[in-house]
């Protein structure tokens, strides 16, 4: 067995697992949003829901106590529009169907009146968790 392979650390290839965010291992709520986490071995996957008006620097920054979001993200965007502003000043929008790979050092907020729902395959283990 290859222990360097994250999948092999979850279960052997002969094991099938199905989990649902409705039965999350951990639910973290913060102003205008929530994060639901499920785990497969050492792998943590998060589903985030951000309501209109949510902004990382207003809703999560007081919890994280960092200048900007330090969590890297690998996300699939399901609903809504999320505007990302990197610490270097560049900005872009993520919309339904987009897949984003974000390094540390950014702010983000919901654009418009539709909630943002996304699934993050990296970076949510410590998200919105007091340090």
Indicate if the pLDDT at residue 114 is higher than 90: yes
User: Structural domain tally of the chain?
Assistant: 1
Give the range of the structural domain holding residue 58, as residue numbers without chain letter.
23-120
Q: What is the pLDDT of residue 104?
A: 95
Q: Is 109 inside any structural domain?
A: yes
Taking the CB of residue 77, how many other CB atoms lie within 10 A of it? 20
**Phi, then psi, of 59 in degrees rounded to 5:** -95, -35
Indicate if the pLDDT at residue 2 is higher than 70: no
pTM over cut 0.75:
yes
Q: Which helix (H) or strand (E) holds 7?
A: helix 6-10
Q: Is 77 inside any structural domain?
A: yes
Q: Is 88 inside any structural domain?
A: yes
Are 108 and 118 a contacting pair, CB within 8 Å? no
Q: Is 110 inside any structural domain?
A: yes
Q: What is the pLDDT of residue 49?
A: 98
Q: What is the pLDDT of residue 3?
A: 43
Q: Is 18 inside any structural domain?
A: no
Q: Is 8 inside any structural domain?
A: no
Q: Is 70 inside any structural domain?
A: yes
Confidence band of 14 (pLDDT split at 50, 70, 90)? low
Indicate if the pLDDT at residue 8 is higher than 50: no
Q: Is 68 inside any structural domain?
A: yes
pLDDT, tens only, 29-55: 999 999 999 998 888 999 999 999 999
User: In angstroms, rounded to a whole number, what is the distance separating the alpha carbons of residues 124 and 50?
Assistant: 14
Indicate if the pLDDT at residue 27 is higher than 90: yes
CATH at residue 63: 2.60.120.10
């Amino acid at each position: 067995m290859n222990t360097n392979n994250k999948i092999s650390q979850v279960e052997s290839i002969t094991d099938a697992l199905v989990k649902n965010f409705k039965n999350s291992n951990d639910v973290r709520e913060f102003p205008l949003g929530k994060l639901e986490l499920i785990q497969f071995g050492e792998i943590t996957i998060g589903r985030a829901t951000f309501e209109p008006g949510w902004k990382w620097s207003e809703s999560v920054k007081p919890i994280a106590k960092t200048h900007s979001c330090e969590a890297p993200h690998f996300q699939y965007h399901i609903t809504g529009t999320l505007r990302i502003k990197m610490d270097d000043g560049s900005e872009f929008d993520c919309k339904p169907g987009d897949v984003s790979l974000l390094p540390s050092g950014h702010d983000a907020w919901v654009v418009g009146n539709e909630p943002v729902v996304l699934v993050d395959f990296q970076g949510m283990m410590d998200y919105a968790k007091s340090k």
